[in-house]
Amino acid sequence: MLTIGLNHYLVLSAIVFSLGILCMVTKRNALGILIGVELVLNAANVNLVAFSRYQTGAADGHMFAVFVILLAAAEAAIGIAIFMNFYNTLQTIDVDRGDELRN
Amino acid sequence: MEHILTWLIFLPLIGMVAVLIAPSSMARGIAWMTTFITFLVSCTMFGPFLPGGAAWTGDGYGKAMQFVHQTPWIHVGNFHINWHVGLDGLSFPLIILTTLITWLSAWASWNFDHWTNNKGAKGFFALFLLLETGVLGTFASLDFFLFYIFWEVMLLPMYFLIGVWGGPRKEYAAIKFFLYTLAGSVLMLVALIAMYFASGTAMGDPGNSTFNIIDYAINAKIHDYFNDTTTKFLGWTFGRAMFVMLFIGFMIKVPLFPTHTWLPDAHVEAPTPISMILAGVLLKLGAYGFLRVCYPIFPEAGKWAAYAVATLGVINIVYGAFCCLAQTDFKRLVAYSSISHMGYVVLGTAIMTDVGFQGAMFQILAHGVSSPMCFFLVGVIYDRAHHRDLNRFGGLWLAMPKYGSLATLGFFASLGLPALCGFIGEIWVLLGTFNAGFPWAKPMAVIAAFGAILTAAYILWMIQRVYLGKKQEQYADFPDVTARETAILIPMAALAIFMGVLPKYTFDLMNGTLSDIIKVIQGS
Amino acid sequence: MNIVALHPMVHGLLPELLLVGGASAILIVGVLGARALAFPLSILSAAGAIWMSTRLAILPAEATAALHIDSLVAFTRLCTLLVGVLILLVNRHVPEEREQPEYFSLILFSLAGIMLVSVANDLVLLFLALELVSVPTYILIGLSRKDVRAQEATGKYFFLGAFAAALMLYGFSFLYGAAGTMQLFPAGGETRSLAAALARPEILADKLTLVGLLLVIGGLAFKVAAVPMHFYVADVYQGAASAMTGMLGFVPKFAGFIALIRVFSMTGWVLSDGMFWLLWAMAALTMTVGNTLALMQQNVKRTLAYSSVAHSGYMLVALLAGPGGLAPNAADTESPLRNGLSAMLFYMVMYGVMNLGAFAAVSCLRKTGDEGDDDSVERLEDASGCARKHPWAALALAICLLSLMGMPPTGGFLGKLYVFSSAMSSEAGTARAMPMLALVIIGVLNSAIAAAYYLRIIAACYLGKPADGIRASRCRMLHVGLAACAVLVMALFLRPGVLFDRAHSAVADMGNKPLSTETSATAELTAK
């Protein structure tokens, strides 16, 4: 029977991290990008909790993860506010439509 | 007056403040007065430099500095930058030249209100005076850091003086001038820092690092370390690397082929008084840098580079003269003749002998007198004709007899006619080169002498085209030189004759210091 | 004030608490309707925090594990707050009356973030502090200007900022895993720390540690706008209001560089060859790419944005030079000139002031925008000939640009001098002396290139034909802030010691000599 160890969690987090990056790079939709950011943050969370469980045995990693969840929520709130604004002006949340800034 | 030299440097700055405060109509008066007082103050400092004066102790280079003022300025940790100024036979004649030419240029700016570009008299004269402070400070600095600061301080006023009050292509000319000079000075900055740290290493204690230009040359530990071919910098020999970096910085200012291209543009676009200062004073800073910094501090590298430097000098002489032959713009011709004449200075410096240095230094002063005169003469005719096309002039001597005579004198001085100032410098350099101990020296001297023939050719041809010939209708009613213009030309004309007929008195001012420098060079 | 009774955690964070408290108070005051009070209150809070950070005794570092209060903290607090006051002055005219409370309180939050970055002795606190710096700036950009460009800039900045933060967090998680602790430096009786762990070669060489460090450096590179995380600056700087852009040049950069100092201090400044060359390439590219791109811009704000990248490159050179004293034959490790970190801090603060001054001047010159709104000048031709009508604003702009260019007599020149001289001397005698020298030469050549585009702006102001419709802002506070920046730039040339001595003692005593009651910055200040 396979025992689940630290490395499994690290691989999982690496996969989630890569998916998050991929999501950020490929999505045109603002919400899609936001989801990508959340994935990367959660990849870090998996790491933190796994290290906390297998390496130190202390609760500090869990605590950090809780802070990160809070921060992610705050960031999402701001991000959505920003794109509400964006939508009000441009009638879209396709980020490629923002092309006013150039030389 | 203990700190008279410091006062001299900052006198124009005080004038600048006055210009900024006073109403615009008084600006030219204040500037004239300030530059005149500065000139008078510098004249009171002759005493020690005359034969038998305090500067003649013969103790060696840097031992008899006059009017020294040294006081700490930035002391952060063990990083010491001092306010350290002083004069010797090398810098003093240049200080006099600066104050004189600046005063005459201020006078030449008297008709500012009649220029095509006559907005903002306050700004013009304020920058003009700031420029004088920068130049005086550079000549007087004995702290390398201070030297660098003043060097950079000169850059900005010049940029604005050309860029705001210049001719049609002023922006291009100003930016070109600025970028060329700045490119040189960043290399100087690297050398400056490297020399500072190396001086600490040489002294065995980084706490004793110094920026003192004189110490670099006469402190045995530092001097030996700097000229030791085993001292390395980025894998190159330290002294040679420094020499090259400093040389590039200075050669842009001289200007030496191939970094000369900014000069004709700057001259053509600059207003007449600014051209006078540019040719009469600013170009001398580069040559002064060679004599004060490059050669006394890095004689080993000087010998190593002698062939290349002399070649550049000869190229300047010949190439400048050929360019002159091709010009149709009067001012551009005079600008290229400056390039040609500065070639003699570089050639005289490169051979590193007594006669060579004397010739170079004399040529610096002679050109400092004759080239502003030529530029002013061009300015006089430009004010009347509003063009500078050589082929459209003719017969001006008949129209303006006094102007014609003074112009001929000025251009003959530039040509190097015997009994005028240009002759002595050139002949000294040529003789020195001919007798120098390098195998390539004699051919070089011959080629340079060929340059002198070209000089005669383009000046005589120019005089023929502009001043001789039939009287032309459109120039017939030109008024002759005014009293103001005569007054500006007379001091320069008198000096050109005086230096040519009695060169001894000019040599006396500087020979002591120059032979001290030669001793430093030969001692290593 | 009886401060002894306060909990050490509270005691150590009094200046930050005061600032955050002030910012919260402004929000409440705004809700209550007294919006006119927002600006005076924000200045008051900043001034109070300055007073607090210099006057109050600072607790010994041993007292608590989560805080790391040393000389660097004192320096960071003072400089953040002083530049912060200038930022507030310059931004006075930006927000509409309705939005003033939010605007100024967010600036204060962001400033508090920088101070917390320097205090943090814990990965959690460090991460949160860095976010506290960034998150308010996302909103501020959107608040500072109402048009579509600001929307776009906010969006871009938000996503890339969030992305960089996420990268950094992922890096933090690996560092935590490698060391088994969140604590950065040993303190408060807690012996386990990242610094102690990274001092062990087997941990430093571990792949996971390396990945962690690289991700952290990448995330911080975004904050300081270094290559390869530099691409956002032009758009963001152009989109935000000019006065806000002045703040963006200082706040995230300063926080990023303080964090970089902390990260490299954890490794004990022992850079492996790979790490050295990575940073070397980063510094060289940042300088060169920044300047090259700046040279290609026609828009003043975009030019200054890319120049901001180049300036980060100069600071990275100083960072790479490190604290000095690593070279075996460096006899005077105490020499401030050999210390890259003090040069970097000097340059950073200097840059903050001159960059803010330049943007304040741009902000001062107004024109009617494309949509008929009041806007600051942007393209070169907008500013053309402005020196005729507005000589003082043009003069201040010229002074700040000359300082950015590194010309004497301005403080920027001394900044460059310190940076390059530290780089030339810190590794003298080692195999790394050559690459460092090469870096210096790349640096000085870059400053010559940079002169071209700065000069282009000055040339437009002074030499160009006067453009129609430029007017000067009437905001008094903006004038005061602009004048203060210009004067500071000149004054720091004449008396660099005022800043440089502090920067040097900040890093010379960093981490090992906690400030006690007697040796606090207060005592030094009052003694002088």
Confidence of residue B1 (pLDDT cuts 50, 70, 90): low
Which of B148, B153, B206 lies nearest to residue C331, judging by beta carbons?
A: B206
Which of B159, B183, B194 lies nearest to residue C424, judging by beta carbons?
A: B194
**How many pairs of residues across B and C have Cβ atoms under 8 Å apart?**
97
In degrees rounded to 5, what are phi and psi of residue C120?
Answer: -55, 130
Q: Note the pLDDT of residue C273.
A: 84
**C408 contact residues in B (CB cutoff 8 A):** 148-149, 152-153
Which of A78, A85, A103 lies nearest to residue C135, judging by beta carbons?
A: A78
pTM: 0.87
CA distance C138 to C155: 8
Cβ of A67 within 8 Å of Cβ of C128? The answer is yes
Cβ of C148 within 8 Å of Cβ of A24? The answer is no
Q: Does the pLDDT value for residue B385 go beyond 50?
A: yes
Question: What 8-state DSSP symbol labels residue C379?
Answer: B
Q: Report the residue count for chain A.
A: 103
Does C300 contact A at CB distance below 8 Å? no
CA distance C68 to B488: 71
Tokens of C295: 């040279």
Cβ of C158 within 8 Å of Cβ of A78? The answer is yes
Cβ of A40 within 8 Å of Cβ of C131? The answer is no
* Domain ranges for chain C: 270-517
Q: What is the pLDDT of residues B108-158, one digit of tens each?
A: 988 888 887 777 788 889 999 999 999 999 999 999 999 999 998 888 889
In degrees rounded to 5, what are phi and psi of residue B73?
Answer: -120, -75
Cβ of C434 within 8 Å of Cβ of B235? The answer is yes
Tokens of B422: 């240009």
Q: Looking at chain A, which subunits does it touch, using at least 3 CB pairs closer than 8 Å as the criterion?
A: C
Contact call for residues C20 and C129 (beta carbons, < 8 A)? no
Cβ of B189 within 8 Å of Cβ of C402? The answer is no
Q: Note the pLDDT of residue C376.
A: 82
Does C444 contact A at CB distance below 8 Å? no
* Domain ranges for chain B: 4-523
Tokens of B387: 């063009």
Cβ of A101 within 8 Å of Cβ of C238? The answer is yes
Q: Note the pLDDT of residue C6.
A: 64
> Which chain C residue lies closest to B117 (C-alpha atoms)?
C463
Q: Note the pLDDT of residue B218.
A: 86
Q: What is the pLDDT of residues B204-242, one digit of tens each?
A: 777 778 888 988 888 888 888 888 888 777 778 888 989
Q: Note the pLDDT of residue C518.
A: 34
Q: Please tell me the distance in Å from A73's CA to the nearest CA on chain C.
A: 12
Confidence of residue B77 (pLDDT cuts 50, 70, 90): low
**C165 contact residues in A (CB cutoff 8 A):** 75
Q: Note the pLDDT of residue C58.
A: 54
CA distance C286 to C319: 13
Mean pLDDT in each 10-residue stretch from start to end of chain A (103 residues)? 83 93 88 91 93 84 92 92 85 75 69
DSSP for C233-257, please give it.
Answer: HHHHHHHS-HHHHHHHTTHHHHHHH
Q: Which residues contact C464 (CB under 8 A, 6 or more apart)?
A: C381, C383, C384, C385
Set out the domains of chain A in order of their start, with CATH numbers. 8-96 (1.10.287.3510)
Q: Looking at chain C, which subunits does it touch, using at least 3 CB pairs closer than 8 Å as the criterion?
A: A, B
Widest Cα–Cα separation across chain B: 76
Rg over alpha carbons for chain A, rounded to the nearest Å, is 17
Tokens of B394: 């003719």
Q: Note the pLDDT of residue B164.
A: 84
CA distance B467 to B188: 44
In degrees rounded to 5, what are phi and psi of residue B341?
Answer: -70, -35
**C321 contact residues in B (CB cutoff 8 A):** none
Cis peptide bond N-terminal to B401, omega within 30: no
Beta strands C471-472; B79-87: pairing state: unpaired
Cβ of A61 within 8 Å of Cβ of C176? The answer is yes
Mean pLDDT in each 10-residue stretch from start to end of chain C (528 residues)? 59 87 93 88 93 69 68 90 95 89 94 93 92 93 86 89 93 90 78 82 84 93 90 90 92 95 85 88 94 90 93 93 57 61 92 95 85 78 83 91 90 90 77 84 88 87 80 89 94 87 80 40 40
Dihedral sign of CA atoms C343, C345, C349, C351 in order: positive
Chain C residues near any Cβ of chain B (below 8 Å): 330-332, 334-337, 388, 402, 407-409, 413-414, 416-417, 420-421, 424-425, 428, 434, 437-438, 440-441, 444-445, 447-448, 451-452, 455-456, 459, 462-463, 496-497, 500-501, 504
Q: What is the pLDDT of residues B443-471, one digit of tens each?
A: 889 999 988 889 999 999 888 888 888 87
Cβ of C332 within 8 Å of Cβ of B206? The answer is yes
Q: Note the pLDDT of residue C110.
A: 96
Which of C330, C408, C440 lies nearest to residue B149, judging by beta carbons?
A: C408
**C177 contact residues in A (CB cutoff 8 A):** 47, 50-51, 55
Mean of per-residue pLDDT scores for chain B: 88
**B249 contact residues in C (CB cutoff 8 A):** none
**C138 contact residues in A (CB cutoff 8 A):** 78, 82
**C302 contact residues in A (CB cutoff 8 A):** 103
Does B72 contact C at CB distance below 8 Å? no
Tokens of B159: 């940029």
Residue C487, Cβ density class (10 Å: 0-12 exposed, 13-18 middle, ≥19 buried): middle
**A51 contact residues in C (CB cutoff 8 A):** 173, 176-177, 180
ipTM of the prediction:
0.94
Cβ of C166 within 8 Å of Cβ of A64? The answer is no
Helix H or strand E segment including C301: helix C300-321
Beta strands C365-368; C374-376: pairing state: antiparallel
Cβ of C148 within 8 Å of Cβ of A100? The answer is yes
Q: Note the pLDDT of residue C308.
A: 94
**How many pairs of residues across A and C have Cβ atoms under 8 Å apart?**
125
Q: Note the pLDDT of residue C358.
A: 94
